[in-house]
Amino acid sequence: MALDTRNKKVVVTGGSSGIGLELVRELLKDGCQVVAASRTMENSKINHEKLHKKNCDVSLQGDIDELFDFAMGKMGDIDIFIANAGFAYYEEIKGADWEHIKKIYDTNTLSVIYSAEKMKELYPERPYNFVCVASAIGLLSIPGYAIYSSTKAALNGFANAYRYELKGGQKFQVVYPISTKTHFFDDNEGIDPPPPVQTPEHVAGSIIKGIKKDKDRIFPSKIFYFMNRFLPFLQRFYVRSESKKFEKLAGEGKI
């Protein structure tokens, strides 16, 4: 039976921009109560009587604990938790840098696993949906995204095993977006994202559809889904073309 997302109580991290902001808009249209969180959420212009904004740096354990307390205080329950906050490095790795690795793992990976554990702690038996926005690059690694793709691939590995620990009605849903036109690529101005590119509205709509259908794996791009599942030779061709781009940019010292 399809999950009715109307009037649910939802937490969205990374709600100030891009995919997260579109998710917040769609969920509010569906009548949901929403707690939206990001480092700058309280400055964001979006306002609604059913929206509660919270500043939160998901790379910090204390901030996630506070976010759960805040959400329970405002809504009394959390039916759906969407761990969407994240960022990427597009780079050539030139040396050893512990802090550089730690920053992205804390944000993209550790925070998601910890939030999933918090949901389970809160509701050991009760049904809920935990949704994490991973990436197509977590399944198909491409040059320039070595560290980023590993942070998302880790989520995939976690989800595949962790689902066996969940009780009936508890869902761990992973989303695999391809390039999406958001602020995500702002740090690499002038460099084209890996094609094709989707809109955040489309990706948010696919995520909500996937939640309603209780899908374990949500693919906003059908082309990527088919390529990943049935056409491995096309993947090799795609990676080769991205590799040429990477070599050129690295050679010119642009990354």
Ligand X SMILES: NC(=O)c1ccc[n+]([C@@H]2O[C@H](COP(=O)([O-])OP(=O)(O)OC[C@H]3O[C@@H](n4cnc5c(N)ncnc54)[C@H](OP(=O)(O)O)[C@@H]3O)[C@@H](O)[C@H]2O)c1
Scored b (16 or more CB within 10 A) or e, 135-154 reads: bbbbbbbbbbbebbbbbbbb
Closer by beta carbon to ligand X, 19 or else 249? 19
- Does residue 38 bind ligand X (CB under 6 A)? yes
- Does residue 147 bind ligand X (CB under 6 A)? no
- Does residue 100 bind ligand X (CB under 6 A)? no
Closer by beta carbon to ligand X, 44 or else 127? 44
Closer by beta carbon to ligand X, 88 or else 154? 88
Per-residue x/- mask for ligand X, residues 158 to 177, rule CB under 6 A? Answer: -------------------x
Q: Which part of the chain contacts ligand X (CB under 6 A), choosing from 74-82, 139-147, 182-190, 243-251?
A: 182-190
Compute the least distance from the CB of residue 144 to ligand X, in Å.
13
- What SS3 string covers 98-151? HHHHHHHHHHHHHHHHHHHHHHHHHCCCCCEEEEEECCHHHCCCCCCCHHHHHH
8-state DSSP, 192: P
Q: Which of 107, 129, 149, 206 binds ligand X (CB under 6 A)?
A: 107
Place of tokens 């307390």: 69
- By CB under 6 A, the count of residues binding ligand X is 31
CA distance 199 to 179: 9
Compute the least distance from the CB of residue 88 to ligand X, in Å.
6
Q: Which of 9, 12, 17, 24 binds ligand X (CB under 6 A)?
A: 17
Q: What is the dihedral of CA 228, 237, 136, 242, to 10 degrees?
A: 180
- Does residue 133 bind ligand X (CB under 6 A)? yes
- CA-CA distances (angstroms) from residue 32 to 58, 111, 154, 185, 253? 22, 24, 30, 30, 47
Compute the least distance from the CB of residue 223 to ligand X, in Å.
14
- Cα torsion angle, 42, 117, 107, 199, sign: negative
Binding site for ligand X (CB under 6 A): 13-20, 38-40, 56-59, 84-88, 107, 133, 135, 177, 179-180, 182-184, 193, 200
